[in-house]
Homo-oligomer: A and B are copies of this chain.
Amino acid sequence: MKSSHIPRATIQRLAVYVQVLENLIQNNENVISSEGLARACGVNPSQIRKDLAYFGEFGVRGVGYYVQDLLTAIKQSLGIDRTWNVALVGVGNLGRALLRHQIFRKRGFILVGAFDCDPFKIGEEVAGLEVVCSRRLKERAKDLDIEIGMITTPPERAQRAANYLVEAGIKGIVNFAPSRIKVPEGVAVEYVDFIHHLFSVAFNISLNQSKGLA
């Protein structure tokens, strides 16, 4: 198909497929059908075939998908068949935990800069990185070839952090602060908010319980 517009939902599912495929590789499974993958991901088999069709034909009829090949193909499609340099703004509790977390590097997102505006934090070393003043983001972004920013400031500072990142020419932001930010067109923003997921779970529990009573 190699189509033009790809649904956001498809992208999110592709990320799930990557997750599951990597586990399959761990278990030395070489081939999987759309049905098998669907079961593991909790979606419909056609869904998977459709999602993949946006990017090309990766399967073999009568056989299924070669796990390693499919994984490579999806990664290429998502643009994660390479590494990305990432700057983190806001070295608080969460920021520190993320800086120390190995998972980013493992998945090709390399934290190359840590920024904060608190003079007490500047100069401190966290996970092998020296904390630098946020004002110096622009200058550093060029040297370090940073393309993605992660915001882990308190909510009221998120917009300012975003401004620094945009000014530094960053083209994508993952915002962990619980507030919406405004950025110019052409800058991709994703929001990560644990609380939203807890809300969702709380709602579903309440729902299930009221269903049980009915």
Is the Cβ of A94 less than 8 Å from the Cβ of B101? yes
How many identical subunits does the complex contain? 2
With contacts A107-B195, A180-B16 taken as known, whether A173 is within 8 angstroms of B201 at the C-beta atoms is: yes
**How many A residues are at the interface, by size bracket?**
35 or more
Q: Give a binary string over A190-205; 1 marks a CB under 8 Å from any B CB, 0 the rest.
A: 1111111111111111
Interface: A68 (CB within 8 A): no
* Interface hit among A28-36, A78-86, A113-121: A78-86
Is the Cβ of B94 less than 8 Å from the Cβ of A202? no
Selected from B8, B19, B204, the residue in CB contact (under 8 A) with A193 is B19
Is the Cβ of B101 less than 8 Å from the Cβ of A93? yes
Across the interface, which residues of B come within 8 angstroms of A77, CB to CB?
203
